[in-house]
Each structure stands twice: as structure tokens, then as C-alpha cells.
Homo-oligomer: A and B are copies of this chain.
Amino acid sequence: MPVYNPPLRDMQFVLHELLNVSDELKLLPRHAEIDADTINAVIEEAGKFAAEVVFPLNISGDTEGCKLDKATHEVSPPSGFKEAYARYVEGGWPALSTDPAYGGQGLPIVLNQCLYEMLNSANQAWTMYPGLSHGAYECLHAHGTEAQKALYLPKLSSGEWTGTMCLTEPHCGTDLGLLRTKAEPVPGAPEGTYRLTGQKIFISAGEHDLAANILHLVLARLPDAPAGSKGISLFLVPKFKAAADGSPGERNPIFCSGLEHKMGINGSSTCQMMLDGAEGTLVGQPHKGLAAMFVMMNAARLGVGNQGLGLTEVAYQNAAAYAKDRRQMRSLSGPKEPDQPADTIIVHPDVRKMLLTARAYAEGGRALAVYIALLIDKELSTDDDDERKTCADEVALLTPIVKAFLTDNAWIATSHCMQVFGGNGYVKDYGMEQFVRDARINMIYEGTNTIQSLDLLGRKVLGDNGAKLKAFGRHIVEFVEEEGTNEAMQEFVNPLAELGDKVTKLTTELGMKAFGNADEVGGAAVDYLRICGHLVFAYFWARMAKVALAKKEEQGVGGDPFYTAKLHTARFYFAKLLPETAGLIRTARSGVAPLMAMDEALF
């Protein structure tokens, strides 16, 4: 059976030593009271909940899956999911970072980030149920009417009710402009009330028995809607219509008509939903639904990146434990434990390479994910408009990187960690193959990783002539200059600076090419995102190395070996992972022609 130990020490390193989160938070009126002890206490409790309550349900949830009662349209998630959710609500976890005006604890997003990393490590499928509620909460908080907010936000915040995103239809996922679900005004009902008819698919947590009610955020077309993506509106459609006192009332005809059978996340109910005249209220402005939904989608994209991070961490932990225990063959450089029948497999360089790949991706991803959470805290809490804009821009730039780079890395890392187990990795008992199957969805949902790359290169980078990228690049340039005279840092800052220059040059080249042929963006975007992902990771790994070097010097012989491990992992990253960019830059530069030359009929 797999193990999971909440990576509290590394989280504390990122929070306190790398990012000085408590000092940063002190500058924000809303979080001025948060100190390191509070942060540590919260993540420790969160880790216990993840490891003790949610993790034990991971394999059983995968094996059992969800069941739909076709007569009642009710869905039963796997055994134990409901009880674990009840404990989650009891513990106040849904309200951790929500607005105190609606019953939230108002703690910083960085804490919610750490909570969710650990929940995802413990059980990605289970975490989908509370996870979707955050996006629904954000969306209603930003675009709901006062009445909607007063009625629904406390329920989402407490976790009494959960939320969903109903976007996809059978004929459209990426291209929501094609959607057909209709919303028609209800004669005699209060203004803003509509009846919705249509079919939605791939609705995560669309139906389940964990919560008393489910709030569906549904994209649909009003009768007078223009065609395409400019004619989409957003509606709130509760499973049970809410009475004014907040109690669930009459059942609304939005039904689960089928469950998807999937490669992974089998414990998560992925529902086909029929809307048969279900009553809903408009959220935000008519025909502006896509923009409103994007609030939810951006939160969800970061959440998916965090799923990749969580799986990378738990897969690493298990592979490392196995590699230190399993004995097979001798070290090529001579037996390491001659009195044993064989050496442990961690003596083999390629086993170490697979482990360190996962470790470097987990720790680099954690630094980036907490960093972006802190940016969001600043964006939401600062009084300074310029700072808010600066933070929002940086979040916008980094979001597609977090989503795509962390989930692609998780695919690589979980597969490597499974490989460390040899044949045992392929059988279900050890739990390793489940991490791989679960990790695969993260590259697809909330916008495929190709879509993320187009968002990055087309919209976030070329869309503003590189302004957001340059702003982030300034952090790198400043860091490289600061460390320019620090001899011990040369092995890190030199390749970082070199890659920074190459990205600048590549961006200019691609911008010019795209000016002539917009397809050039599509031809290079996926390579470009991965190059930028490495640039961001190289920056954080160099910064982490700096902290580790300083601590080692300070502590001397007998110091905390954590910093030694951090430094070795940084060196591994620069030696073995960063060089992937050499090939990617070549393919990105080779242009779109080799992709477009072949006639469609010849495929």
C-alpha cells in the first residue's frame, strides 16, 4: 500500500525561507496578523487531514468508482467519501480562505494552496468534490448580485453545498461558442429567472450525495443571443431551489443522465447532465457569461496545476521509499552492501535520475505554486492599484504555465516513479499506476495543454508585445545581477541568464513570424510554453539554491541536511532537466511549415 507524508518541511522552506510569506502578508491589511506559527499550525493540521482521512480512500475509491441510480438520477460516490467530506466541513476547511463577510475564515490563499496540494496528493478524485466549489465561489463573489451572494456564498463557504462548472456539451468543449443549451425567461417569475434546457457532459461532481445541495454554474444562450461566443450567458442553477431562508426546496430538473467511465479519477463523478427546463438565475450581464466564467476557469486552471503537483509529490515519496527497500542487482561500480544478496536499487544511477526528476519537479512546482498564490493574496488585498495590476498581470502570465507545465511534468514524473517499481508498478496493488492514470486528465481538462500554450504565447506574451513577460524577466535579471559576484551561485545563474536571453530572442522571432502567419503561434506554442516553464523553474531553483547555500554556510558541519538535499536537487535540475530546452528551442524555431505542408487528405 502506498504511503503519504505531508511535505511540511519543504512547504515551510518555501513559505518562510524562500518567499518570506509572513513578512509579505504583514504588508497587506487583511492578513497583517498572520505569523509563521499560525501558518505552520494550519498546514500541519491540513496535512493530518489529507494523510489520515482522505488518503486511505484513494485506492478503494479508484476500485469502487461511482454508481448512478438511473431511476432516481442520484449518484453514490465510493464508500467513505461522504464521511470524509463531512469531516472536511466539520473542520472548517472549505472556509479557510473565503471572505469573512460570508462566513469565511479569511486566511491567505497561500494556505489554501498548501491544503489543496496535500489533498491532491492524498486523493485527487475525492478532492474534485470540494475543489470545484472554490471556482463557483470566486465566480459568484465577483459577478453575483447581492441577493445571490447573500443566499449562496455562505453555503459554499461552509461546504454545506458544493458547486460545479457546466460548460462542455457533446459537440463542444474547447469551442464554447458552439454551445446550444437554451435559457428562456420564465413568465411571471422575478426578473433574471430563466428556464434552461439542454445537455452538458463531463461535469465533475455534477451529482453526488456528499452535500445537501449542488449549485451548477451553467453556460447557456438567451433567446436573443448573438451567435458564437458573444452570445453566451451564465446562470446559477441549483439542484434544489433555495428557499429565502437558505434551506433546499423543490428539486430542479437538472439531472445526471449518465456517468463517464474513465481512465482514472474514478472516484470523481463525471456526469452527463440533462437540463429539462431547470430554473436558474442570471449571473452577471447577459451575453457576458464567458467572461464571468473565466474567473472560475482561471482559479480552476491553477487548481489543475496543483493536482499535477500533488501527484508528483506522492509518486516521488513512494518511489523513493521503494528504491531504498527493494534489492536487485549490484551497483555497476561494485557491491555497496556485499553482505546482502543484492544492493538496494537506489544505487543505480537511472533509478536516481527518475527519482530526482520527480523530486525536482515537485519542489520546483511547489515554489512556483506558492509564489503565485501569494501574488493572488496581494492582488486581492492590496490597497495599491498599481501593485494590484502588477500582481494580476503576473498571475495571468504564470497561470497557463502552472496548468500545463506542472501537469506535463506530473505525467513524466508519475510514469518515472511507476517505472522504479518495475513490474510491480504496473499492477494495481502498489497504487503507482493509479497516480499515472489520475495524472493524465490534468493535461486535458480546464483547457487542454495546447490551449494553455496558445493562451501563453498568443494572448499573454504576444498579445501585449511581451510586456508581462518582460516584467517577469526583470525579476530574473535583477536576481542574476545580484548574484553576479557570488562565485558559488555561478553554476545556477549562468544557465538561468543564458536561457533568459534565448527566450527573449525566441519571443521576438516568433512575434515577427506570427505577424506574417498567425499559424506560426500554433506551431511553436507548446514548445514555447515548456521552454518558459523551464525558465521559471530555473529561476526558482536558483533562488532555492541561494537560500540553501546561505543556510549551509551559516550552519556549517552538522547542519540541517535538508539544505544539502536542496542543493543537490538544484544541481540535478540544471544538469539533467534544464537541457531539454536545447531541443525545444530548435523545434520552436523550425517553424510551422513542416506541420502544415501535408494535405489533410494524406493523414
Interface residues of A (CB under 8 A from B): 168, 171-175, 177-178, 201-202, 260-264, 270, 320, 323-324, 327-329, 331-334, 341-342, 344, 346-353, 355-356, 359, 411, 415, 418-419, 422-423, 425-429, 433, 436-437, 440-441, 443-445, 448-450, 453-454, 458, 517-519, 521-523, 525-526, 561, 564-565, 568-569, 571-572, 575-576, 579-584, 586-587, 590-592, 594-603
Contacts and interface: CB of A to CB of B under 8 A. Distances in A.
Given A320-B603, A583-B583, A587-B579, A598 B425 contact: no
Contacts of A260: 427
Nearest to A514: B332
Given A173-B328, A332-B522, A426-B263, A595 B433 contact: no
Contacts of A264: 426
B444 A333 contact: no
A444 B426 contact: yes
Contacts of A596: 349, 352
Nearest to A432: B263
Given A263-B437, A356-B595, 6 more contacts: A172-B328, A262-B427, A324-B603, A350-B595, A353-B526, A576-B594
A263 B590 contact: no
A10 B55 CA distance: 49
B436 A422 contact: no
Given A523-B353, A595-B352, A600-B346, A174 B328 contact: yes
A-side interface mostly: helix
Contact of A349 (B175, B347, B348, B592): B592
Nearest to A589: B579
B350 A522 contact: yes
A580 B583 contact: yes
Contact of A263 (B344, B351, B428, B571): B428
Contact of A519 (B324, B332, B571, B586): B332
A546 B289 CA distance: 55
Nearest to A342: B175
A147 B151 CA distance: 85
Contact of A426 (B440, B525, B586): B440
B350 A523 contact: yes
Contacts of A359: 603
Contacts of A568: 594, 597-598, 602
A265 to B, nearest CB: 9
A549 to B, nearest CB: 15
Given A350-B450, A598-B569, A422 B173 contact: yes
Contacts of A601: 561
Nearest to A574: B594
B433 A440 contact: yes
A592 B347 CA distance: 12
16 contacts: A168-B423, A261-B429, A262-B433, A331-B519, A332-B518, A333-B517, A350-B523, A350-B525, A351-B450, A352-B603, A353-B595, A561-B602, A568-B602, A571-B597, A572-B594, A575-B587
Nearest to A424: B173
A592 B428 CA distance: 33
Contact of A444 (B419, B437, B602): B419
Contacts of A453: 350
A426 B332 CA distance: 41
B436 A448 contact: no
A583 B579 contact: yes
B355 A521 contact: no
Closest 4 CB pairs of A and B: A349-B522, A579-B586, A263-B433, A575-B594
Given A329-B175, A522-B350, A444 B429 contact: no
Contacts of A590: 575-576, 579
Contacts of A579: 583, 586-587, 590
Contacts of A428: 261-263
A423 to B, nearest CB: 5
B444 A422 contact: yes
Nearest to A592: B349
Nearest to A334: B518
A426 B561 CA distance: 42
B595 A263 contact: no
A94 to B, nearest CB: 27
A174 B426 contact: no
A603 B595 CA distance: 42
A428 B561 CA distance: 46
Which of A519, A587, A595 counts the most B-chain CB atoms under 10 A from its CB?
A595
Nearest to A580: B583
A536 to B, nearest CB: 18
